[in-house]
Structure 1
Amino acid sequence: MSIERTGTLPLQSEQHIVASRQAVRSLCQLLKFSLVEQTKMITAASELSRNTLIHGGGGRMRWEVVEAGTKTGLALHFEDEGPGIADMKLAMTDGWTSGGGMGLGLPGSKRLVSDFSVESAPGQGTRVSITKWK
């Protein structure tokens, strides 16, 4: 079975969150991630998809299969044009929640993946990128 190396999914509704989880599950299976690694990536994707929808007013999830030397991984990018994150330090604080999600927040998602970055500015939206290496 071939795998699309890149793609984009909208995040405009609860159904899109479900679709993003299913897409990440399929990609992880095709990349032969272990069940534990699949679960971590799907959980992080679910949390970040929900954040994009609820806090960012909707956006998109872009994905790409990445390689570095002999390693293969899955990179996901969650992008919105919402209000942005006013207090990044607070948003990256363990246990802080603005409500509505699984309570993992950005720091919980960060712990589930290999690489994590967030770019945001008030009024300019947010972009969170995560990568899980196999």
Structure 2
Amino acid sequence: MLIAAVLCLCAAAATAAMGLWSARRPHATDQVAQVLRAVVPTQLAAAVMLAAGGVVALAAPPHAGVLALVVCVVGAVGTVAAGCYQSAKSVALREAVREAQSSDAGCAGACASCTLSCH
């Protein structure tokens, strides 16, 4: 149990460090950088979950420690996965809106001329 708890605490520290590193990077127009920056809150939440699981695994009786460790690790992985999905979906939506606005600007809102030219 000691090894699992220490590994969980190390994973918490690594997750928090990656989240803080992503937060300190400047804002970018690159979609990947935007997703990484948007996932920072979920990374920090996962780090807290992992740290709590590691501490409980160290302090609690073995049966309760294993259960808490499993719940915290599954929760942390699920939180990061959901955060990545939501962030990627949000960035993709923003990019689609920006692309639609730029294509609308090309015809200056003259939808009739675009529609009639196809027939």
Task: Sort the TM-score into its range (normalised by shorter chain).
Answer: 0.3 to 0.5
Q: Which has the higher helix share?
A: 2
Q: Which has the higher strand share?
A: 1
TM-score, structure 1 as length reference: 0.30
TM-score, structure 2 as length reference: 0.32
User: Which is greater in Rg?
Assistant: 2
